[in-house]
Amino acid sequence: MRGEETRDVVREFPEKLDKRNRSEQGWRMQDNDFGTPTERRLADIWADILRLDNVKRDQDFFDAGGDSLLATKVVLRVCREWDIKFTVRVLNDAPVLADLAERIDQRVTKSGQPSAGAPSPAARASRAGACLWEMRPGTAGAGQDTLLLLPHAGGSAQNYASWADFFPKDLRILAAQYPGRAARADEPAAADLHHIVDEILDALGDVEGRLYVFGHSMGSYVGYELCWRQQLASRPPVALFASGAVPPHRHRPNPATEEEITDEWLMKLLDMYNGVPDDLMNYPEVISQALGTLRSDVVLFRNYSYGDRRRRLEIPIVAFGGERDDLVPAAEVERWHELGAAECATHIIPGGHFYYLDNTATVTAAMSKYLVSVHDGQKE
């Protein structure tokens, strides 16, 4: 299936399903829904940045769709509106809106004196050390199918928070949480891509049902290596959905190994993802935190080595790419078929490297259609 066919798929999934295009209908936030004025103001900020119609005081920022990059935007707004020093680490420690609002009030009372405070035990215990976020357990019981979602460099499991709305309810959906971000911010970032694969495989255990794997950018490489390991163990997934990446056997370090990974280069990457606030440079602590995880992932990705021997998966690889992606040309996306079975397909979709942010309905519809085809024994 090529780009023209892919664009037609969106007609089957109305854009009203996309959380980025919510209507103005439904329940709206009221002042009496919150315990303090700070909670109300903070809820407005979350609603604006996360593009939500409503936010509740007991809502978790990351469960609501937040990630490390969106957290940076929240921190900038908090610093500006309350005129206090604030860091992403505070949000990581207190991701529930009411708890974070209390931290803000404490900072205001102390006139901006540094005080990160202790994390909320209840908030931290639910995700501490977990490398897989179960977005939805599914309704099919034992032996149900599972979709595993793998984030890009600098990304987190919460990048896929809205995706559960687009798939059948009987599909179990898991998203990987790499170390060094979100609820795992206190852990050191992974130094080797294969360490991430090891951790995810351990957490997956013996998946009884069919497994589908989707990865974007660096996540595509994690997905490929995971599928290869499962194939060697005689437990291959059904399909690999590879997005926004040059195929592993054609990987070239970017930037080149001898080149320095500068803050300016990383800022350009951040700008591809939802943009960078104009006043970000006024908050060096926030910049440092935002770039730290991304730099670690870029180094990890740059040091990846495919090896000398061609390793072909015995499963279909369904490749996705943005037609205006400056990092991954469409011609490279089409070469993923060289690493997979004959049923491989390519979808080129309008947009840049993060094309899926504005085309979630299109991408998930194409995936769902392919999953149905696999189940029915049909071909695209």
Tokens of 351: 């947009």
Question: What pLDDT digit, counting tens, does each position of 206-265 carry?
Answer: 778 899 999 999 999 999 999 999 999 999 999 999 999 999 999 988 877 778 889 888
Hey, where are the domains in the chain? 28-125, 132-376
Output the pTM of the full model: 0.71
Distance between CA atoms of 300 and 232, rounded to whole angstroms?
24
- Strand arrangement of the beta sheet that strand 345-349 belongs to: 132-136, 172-176, 146-150, 211-216, 239-243, 317-322, 345-349
Tell me if the bond preceding 236 is cis, omega within 30° of 0: no
Question: What pLDDT digit, counting tens, does each position of 66-99 carry?
Answer: 887 788 889 888 888 888 888 888 888 899 999 9
pLDDT of residue 141: 62
pLDDT of residue 114: 33
Give the architecture-level CATH label for domain 132-376: 3-Layer(aba) Sandwich (3.40)
The pLDDT > 90 percentage for the chain reads: 46
Q: Do you know the residue count of the chain?
A: 380
Q: Where are the alpha helices (DSSP H) in the chain?
A: 3-9, 37-50, 68-82, 88-93, 97-109, 121-125, 193-204, 218-232, 263-272, 284-302, 330-333, 360-376
Q: What CATH topology corresponds to 28-125?
A: 1.10.1200
Tokens of 45: 């900020």
